[in-house]
Amino acid sequence: GACAPYRRLHLCHHNLETIETNNYESNNAKHNLLVDVCMAAKYEGDSIKTYYTGHQHKYDDSQLCTVLARSFADIGDIVRGKDLFYGNTQEKEKREDLENNLKDIFKKIHSGLTGWVLKARYKDTTNFYELRENWWTANPRTVWKPLLLMRTVHISDHMRW
């Protein structure tokens, strides 16, 4: 079996898996997804703060930067459909449900695309990998900000895109 860091044990289960696709329509799906992913990032930041505070005397802020960056990358991998961690059987089922929800959301985003150029560009109507990649590429700074809300020090100046 795989050994996962603490951040991976709760990221999907407690934050991203709560996305409700019922409220998604083709005209609002990309905006609703951004709100939901930002909320997941905020809760992830809160979780890191809770977990990290007890270890703060052992590690300096560079360790925190690493944890934040890896959690941010995990969120990106999940959104883009590139997440390789499935965990135990129960977690795997939850992860598959999340993946199906994300496919459904990106299907709605895809159906809201207008113009033949966009329709022709995004031909994958099963997994929507290119659309997902481009959605993530357009939104990393927006997702990064709520992840940092848990910090009183503004460390984003030290992070490079």
Domain range spanning residue 62? 6-17+26-158
Question: Number of folded domains in the chain?
Answer: 1
Per-residue model confidence as pLDDT tens digits over 24-58: 888 889 999 999 999 989 988 888 877 766 656 56
Does the residue 112 lie in any domain?
A: yes
CATH number of residue 10's parent domain:
1.20.1310.20
Does the residue 1 lie in any domain?
A: no
Is 21 in contact with 105 (CB distance < 8 Å)? yes
The pLDDT of residue 47: 82
The pLDDT of residue 3: 47
What does the alpha-carbon distance between residue 143 and residue 147 come to, in Å, rounded to a whole number? Answer: 7
pLDDT above 90 coverage of the chain, percent:
37
The pLDDT of residue 26: 80
DSSP secondary structure letters along the chain: -----HHHHHHHHHTGGG--GGG--TTTHHHHHHHHHHHHHHHHHHHHHHHHHTTTTTS-HHHHHHHHHHHHHHHHHHHHT------SHHHHHHHHHHHHHHHHHHHHHHHT--SHHHHHH----SS-HHHHHHHHHHSHHHHHHHHHTT-SS-GGGG---
Does the residue 40 lie in any domain?
A: yes
What does the alpha-carbon distance between residue 78 and residue 103 come to, in Å, rounded to a whole number? Answer: 11
The pLDDT of residue 28: 86
Does the residue 104 lie in any domain?
A: yes
Asked whether residue 7 carries a pLDDT value surpassing 60, the answer given is no
Does the residue 117 lie in any domain?
A: yes
Mean pLDDT (the chain, rounded): 80
Does the residue 72 lie in any domain?
A: yes
pTM score, whole prediction: 0.81
Asked whether residue 9 carries a pLDDT value surpassing 60, the answer given is no
Asked whether residue 160 carries a pLDDT value surpassing 70, the answer given is no
Per-residue model confidence as pLDDT tens digits over 135-156: 999 999 999 999 887 654 445 5
Does the residue 31 lie in any domain?
A: yes
Average pLDDT over every residue of 99-108:
94
Q: pLDDT-based confidence at 14, cuts 50/70/90? A: low
Does the residue 101 lie in any domain?
A: yes
Asked whether residue 60 carries a pLDDT value surpassing 70, the answer given is no
Average pLDDT over every residue of 60-87:
82
CB atoms within 10 A of CB 80: 19
Is 149 in contact with 78 (CB distance < 8 Å)? no
